[in-house]
Amino acid sequence: MNTEKSLLIINGGSSSIRFAFYRVADAAFTILLKGKLHNIGNKTTGPVLTTNTSDKPQKPDIRENTYEHAAQFLVAWLENQQEFPQVSAIGHRIVHGMEQTEPQEITPELLAYLKTISPYDPEHLPEEIKLIELFGQCHPALKQIACFDTAFHANMPAVAKRLPIPRRFSGKGLHRYGFHGISYAYLMQELESLAGKKAANGKVILAHLGNGASMAAVKERRCLDTSMGFTPASGVMMGTRSGDIDPGVAWYMMQFEKLSPKEFNHLVNHESGLIGVSETSADMQELMQLQTTDHCAEEAIALFCYQVKKHIGSFAAVLGGVDTLVFSGGIGENIPQIRSGICEDLGFLGVTVDEEQNQNNKAIISDIAGKVIVRVIATNEELMIARLVSQVLN
Catalytic annotation, pick one of 121, 149, 323, 367: 149
Asked whether the beta carbons of 209 and 183 are under 8 A apart, the reply is no
Among residues 103, 99, 197, which one has the least CA distance to residue 155? 99
- Chain centroid to CA 54: how far? 25
- Residue 38 is classified by DSSP as E
Dihedral class, residue 102 (left if φ above 0, else alpha if ψ from -120 to 50, else beta): beta
Q: For residue 91, give Cα distances in angstroms to 11, 83, 172, 204.
A: 8, 15, 29, 28
Within 8 A by CB and 6+ apart from 83, the residues are 6, 8, 21, 32, 33
Dihedral class, residue 67 (left if φ above 0, else alpha if ψ from -120 to 50, else beta): alpha
Cβ neighbours around 5 below 10 Å, total: 17
- Which strand ranges, in their side-by-side order, compose the sheet holding 48-51? 48-51, 28-38, 17-25, 5-12, 87-94, 143-148, 104-105
- Which strand ranges, in their side-by-side order, compose the sheet holding 373-376? 222-226, 213-219, 203-209, 324-328, 373-376
C-alpha dihedral over 98, 100, 101, 104, to 10 degrees? -140
Active site residue 26: no
Asked whether the beta carbons of 192 and 200 are under 8 A apart, the reply is yes
Report the catalytic residues: 149
